């Protein structure tokens, strides 16, 4: 819900923008409303951003931009096909978002914890700009699976994802290249370059997903492929949320005592010998290991191309704030939504196949709601 004060702040920003051509600073908002501190002004603006009324570029002065005010003409809500409510909805995110951008009808309410059946690009177009914290997905690529002949415009998906993500939001993708006549298709590299050159992202990192349990040991003329790429795309200057603590991995030599010669000085001599205990857990690098065995879930096995649930679990913990919103535009059997539900985050899923939408619903229903979120 928007409070009375937040509505007043929104009106003040709207008026200042149209009168001066730029938004007020947080300190000007504080003074105008006699707020206790700049943090209180920041809180109100963040709230307006979270419920889709303004955008704000982090670490940049006067960077608030109004994208909706109640005076904007209401749109006709579009019917949503195949909607599921997982019971996870955080009601204060169900604030009405009635507005139009470039004449497109947008969802009246952000369809939280729902699976939307249809083409990813067409459905993404209805999702309001700057409304999503994190996208985790694995697109179909190189016609490796036919998916009943559905086609896909991956460059358009990149552009729409960039639009719907909040500033500082992240899109993590799992992708590989097919091999034909001993040559790789390069789809993963082309997609990375296209999304950075044309969709507005920068490449935060490319993580290697190391797959344990992959087939191919008997291949005679090529290596067994036991990795996929996980490019992590960033919108804006820096991730607005980053918590790598839950992703730590055990240290090989944890608990042992390390004795070293200390640091080398510029004249070549070393500082005194240091002795310290090696921590049991350490920061993860850029090769992430997962068991590729269908998570032993019979429902999940009904889908031909899934990723382990642990992948979205890791990305969500690292890049999605506790009350944030996750999106998977190719939700398949629902792995991303299952992870989001387990972690108490809101999520939106899209898939073109009615069969997979139903499968995902079944999996999500069977996933218990966390006791604490
Ligand atoms: C690689 S699978 C995703 C699997 C998912 N990560 C999981 O773990 O279940 C890709 C999915 O994209 C869907 N798909 C194919 N073309 C699509 C399109 N144009 N729009 C939306 N979904 C599409 C397919 O039905 C398939 O379920």
pLDDT digits (tens, 9 = 90+) for 135-155: 999 998 776 555 555 557 899
pLDDT cut 90: percent of the chain above it = 48
Residue 197 lies in a domain: yes
Residues 167 and 315 in one domain: yes
Residues 36 and 128 in one domain: no
| Token code pair at residue 372 | 């604490």
Say yes or no: CB of residue 330 within 6 Å of ligand 1: yes
Say yes or no: CB of residue 356 within 6 Å of ligand 1: yes
Burial letters 278-315, b for 16+ CB under 10 A, else e: eeeeeebeeebebebebbeeebbeebeebbbbebbbbb
Question: What's the domain range around 230?
Answer: 91-247+283-365
Opening angle at CA 320, ends 317 and 325, nearest 5: 130
Say yes or no: CB of residue 335 within 6 Å of ligand 1: yes
Say yes or no: CB of residue 209 within 6 Å of ligand 1: no
Residue 71 lies in a domain: no
Query: Which ligand 1 atom minimizes the distance to the CA of 333?
Result: 9
Which of 205-209, 265-269, 312-316, 348-352 comes out lowest in average pLDDT?
265-269
Residues contacting 329, CB < 8 A, separation 6+: 120, 123, 124, 135, 137, 139, 157, 161, 350
Residue 176 lies in a domain: yes
| Token code pair at residue 85 | 């409510």
Residues 267 and 297 in one domain: no
Residue 19 lies in a domain: yes
Between the CA of 76 and the centroid of ligand 1 the distance, in Å, is 28
Tens of pLDDT, residue by residue over 236-265, are 999 999 999 999 999 988 888 888 767 788
Mean pLDDT score, 272-279: 84
Using the 8-state DSSP alphabet, how is residue 272 labeled? -
| Token code pair at residue 128 | 């309001």
Say yes or no: CB of residue 349 within 6 Å of ligand 1: no
Say yes or no: CB of residue 120 within 6 Å of ligand 1: yes
Between the CA of 328 and the centroid of ligand 1 the distance, in Å, is 9
Residue 334 lies in a domain: yes
Decide: helix, strand or coil at residue 64. Answer: strand
Say yes or no: CB of residue 352 within 6 Å of ligand 1: yes
Q: What is the pLDDT of residue 60?
A: 64
pLDDT at 25 over 80: yes
Smallest Cα–Cα separation from 118: which of 152, 93, 144? 152
Q: Look-up: residue for tokens 């809500």? A: 77
Residues 183 and 324 in one domain: yes
Residues 223 and 258 in one domain: no
Between the CA of 161 and the centroid of ligand 1 the distance, in Å, is 15
More confident call, 43 vs 172: 172
pTM of the model: 0.72
pLDDT at 47 over 70: yes
Say yes or no: CB of residue 80 within 6 Å of ligand 1: no
pLDDT at 95 over 60: no
Residue 267 lies in a domain: yes
Tens of pLDDT, residue by residue over 162-220, are 999 999 999 999 999 989 999 999 999 999 999 999 999 999 999 999 999 887 778 88
Between the CA of 272 and the centroid of ligand 1 the distance, in Å, is 57
| Token code pair at residue 211 | 């797959």
Q: Which residues share a beta bridge with 257?
A: 277
Q: What is the pLDDT of residue 59?
A: 62
Q: What is the pLDDT of residue 58?
A: 63
- How many domains would you assign to the chain? 3
CATH number of the domain that 23 lies in? 1.10.10.10
H and E: helices and strands count for the chain: 9, 18
Query: Which ligand 1 atom minimizes the distance to the CA of 360?
Result: 9
Residues 330 and 290 in one domain: yes
Say yes or no: CB of residue 154 within 6 Å of ligand 1: no
pLDDT at 276 over 80: yes
Opening angle at CA 288, ends 287 and 293, nearest 5: 135
pLDDT at 103 over 50: no
pLDDT at 85 over 50: no
Query: Which ligand 1 atom minimizes the distance to the CA of 332?
Result: 27
Q: What is the pLDDT of residue 69?
A: 64
pLDDT at 93 over 50: no
Q: What is the pLDDT of residue 182?
A: 93
Between the CA of 330 and the centroid of ligand 1 the distance, in Å, is 4
pLDDT at 349 over 80: yes
Q: CB of 316 within 8 A of CB of 310?
A: no
Residue 74 lies in a domain: no
For residues 135, 340, 373, 57, the Cα torsion angle rounded to the nearest 10 degrees is 0
Say yes or no: CB of residue 309 within 6 Å of ligand 1: no
């Amino acid at each position: 819900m928007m409070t009375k004060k937040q509505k007043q702040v929104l009106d003040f920003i709207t008026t200042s923008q149209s009168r001066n051509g730029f938004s007020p600073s947080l300190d000007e908002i504080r003074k105008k409303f006699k707020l206790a501190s700049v943090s209180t002004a920041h809180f109100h603006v963040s709230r307006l951003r979270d419920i889709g009324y303004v955008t704000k570029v982090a670490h940049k002065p006067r960077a608030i931009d109004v994208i909706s005010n109640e005076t904007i003409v209401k749109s006709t809500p579009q019917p949503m096909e195949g909607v599921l409510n997982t019971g996870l909805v955080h009601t204060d995110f169900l604030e009405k978002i009635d507005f139009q951008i470039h004449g497109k009808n947008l969802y009246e309410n952000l369809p939280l914890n729902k699976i939307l059946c249809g083409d990813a690009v067409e459905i993404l177009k209805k999702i309001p700009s700057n409304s999503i914290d994190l996208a985790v997905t694995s697109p179909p690529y190189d016609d490796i699976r036919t998916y009943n002949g559905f086609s896909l415009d991956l460059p358009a998906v990149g552009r729409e994802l960039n639009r719907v993500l909040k500033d500082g939001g992240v899109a993590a993708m799992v992708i590989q290249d097919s091999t034909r006549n001993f040559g790789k298709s390069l789809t993963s590299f082309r997609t990375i370059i296209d999304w950075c050159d044309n969709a507005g992202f920068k490449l935060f990192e490319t993580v290697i997903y190391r797959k344990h349990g992959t087939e191919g040991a008997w291949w005679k003329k090529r290596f067994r492929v036991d990795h996929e790429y996980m490019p992590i795309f960033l919108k804006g200057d820096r991730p607005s949320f980053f918590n790598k603590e839950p992703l730590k991995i055990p240290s090989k030599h944890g608990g042992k005592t390390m004795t070293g010669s200390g640091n080398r000085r510029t004249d070549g001599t070393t500082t005194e010998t240091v002795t310290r205990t090696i921590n049991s857990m350490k920061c993860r690098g850029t090769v992430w290991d997962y068991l590729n065995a269908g998570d032993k879930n019979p429902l999940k096995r009904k889908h031909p191309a899934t990723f382990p649930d642990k992948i979205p679990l890791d990305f969500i913990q690292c890049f999605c704030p506790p009350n944030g919103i996750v999106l998977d535009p190719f939700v398949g059997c629902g792995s991303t939504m299952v992870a989001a539900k387990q972690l108490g985050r809101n999520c939106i899923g899209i898939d073109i196949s009615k069969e997979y939408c139903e499968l995902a619903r079944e999996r999500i229903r069977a996933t218990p709601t966390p006791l604490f979120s």
